[in-house]
Amino acid sequence: MSRRLPAEVEEDFKISPEHVRVSLAAAMTLGLKPGRFFRNATCDCVNLLENYPAGCYANCTYCGLARERPGLARDNTFIRVGWPLFPTDLVAEAIAAHAERVGRVCVAMVQDKRSSPDLVEITRRIRRRSAVPISALVTATLLDETRLLAIRDAGADIVGIGLDAASEEVFFRTRGRGARGPHSWAQHWEIARIARRIFGPMKVNCHVVVGLGETDRDLVDLFYRLKSEAVAAYLFSFNPEPGTVMAAVPRPPLGRWRRIQLTKYLIEARDLPRDAIEFDAAGGLTRVRAPRALVDACLETGRAFLTNGCPDRTGRLACNRPFGSYRPGEEFRDYPFAPDAADRLAIRAQTRYEELSS
């Protein structure tokens, strides 16, 4: 008589492309998990993650999926939230059934030799059932031009690249050989440029994490570099994951995070010139020479402090990742909805932008 395996062990056999992990917020949106969102937030992008028994073969020092993180891969979290596992076809059907409330789907690779063809297959299954826009969050280390073309032909219209580090030195230490990982700064830039050529301007984005050890100067230089190449920069606030190498590293101070958010917005949306930004000897932001009326207008609208993410088919923000870098009840890091009047007052106090513009 055969004995049934424990459910957690069965997950080791439920691998991609037949199965896929879904962020808890997305699972709630699709009716696959129960729950309510704090302040009536919505999750407008369905984030999916490939699943393999060994997890991810990369070893990024801040990532919950890191190869050397203690424990079993199936027990790990990613961006500090759970990712329940479902059959891919069930998820694709749920996306089609909820297409009116799903602005975009994002399929994320991990570092595994199977992950590139599996991403293509998962994308195809979703595309066959609905016309919801699809992003591919790719592992640049595993890609080349041929594989990027296959991702496009499967139905993805945007590519995201987890650059994460704002400088080559920080990349080496947190993602590359300095972390016993496989990733290369140069290859990430090469893939970003090939993807930009295939998918078009502002159809490629690089994720950038604030708080990995970079300076403000590193971040500003990167924002200008990405803008010059028509590649979007999506900002994330570092939030330490238990069990990782960087588990004891504190989050970036909220004031620094707010000023970086606002400065990035001024660069991207208001064409702030590079020589308007000044730094101290350590690379810290000390002054931004922008018209006070412009800064006040940016603080009043609150757009600079929204989550950075891919748009829906109308151009409206879809990937808003509600509470992805903080917990409900904590101070907001990025807002998954338009900040209300009370939020904007808090943002103004947290930013303390008058210290930079004086």
Residue 80: the pLDDT is 56
Residues forming a β-bridge with 159: 136, 204
305 located within any domain: no
Residue 324: the pLDDT is 76
> Any idea what the CATH number is for the domain that residue 165 is in?
3.20.20.70
Residue 12: the pLDDT is 67
DSSP string spanning 76-111? --BTTB---EEEHHHHHHHHHHTTTT--EEEEE--S
Name, in order, each residue with C-beta under 8 angstroms of 307's C-beta and a sequence gap of 6 or more: 317, 319, 320, 321, 324, 334, 335, 336
What are the average pLDDT values for consecutive 10-residue runs of the chain, which has 358 residues?
Answer: 54 89 94 90 95 92 90 56 91 97 97 97 98 98 98 98 98 98 98 98 98 98 98 96 94 97 97 97 96 94 96 96 81 94 96 82
Looking at this protein, which amino acid is placed at residue 252? P
145 located within any domain: yes
Residue 55: the pLDDT is 86
Residue 5: the pLDDT is 47
Task: Give the side-chain half-sphere CA count within 13 A for 168.
Answer: 5
Residue 355: the pLDDT is 83
Q: Which domain holds residue 202?
A: 7-252
Residue 278 parent element (H or E): strand 277-279
Question: Strand 134-138 and strand 158-164: pairing?
Answer: parallel
306 located within any domain: no
86 located within any domain: yes
What number of other Cβ atoms are within 10 A of residue 326's Cβ?
A: 16
Residue 325: the pLDDT is 79
Residue 62: the pLDDT is 95
Q: Name the domain count of the chain.
A: 1
Any idea which residue has 């002054």 for tokens? 287
327 located within any domain: no
Residue 275: the pLDDT is 96
Q: What is the dihedral of CA 35, 335, 49, 78, to 10 degrees?
A: -90
Q: What is the pTM of this model?
A: 0.93
343 located within any domain: no
Q: CB of 249 within 8 A of CB of 211?
A: yes
152 located within any domain: yes
Residue 27: the pLDDT is 96
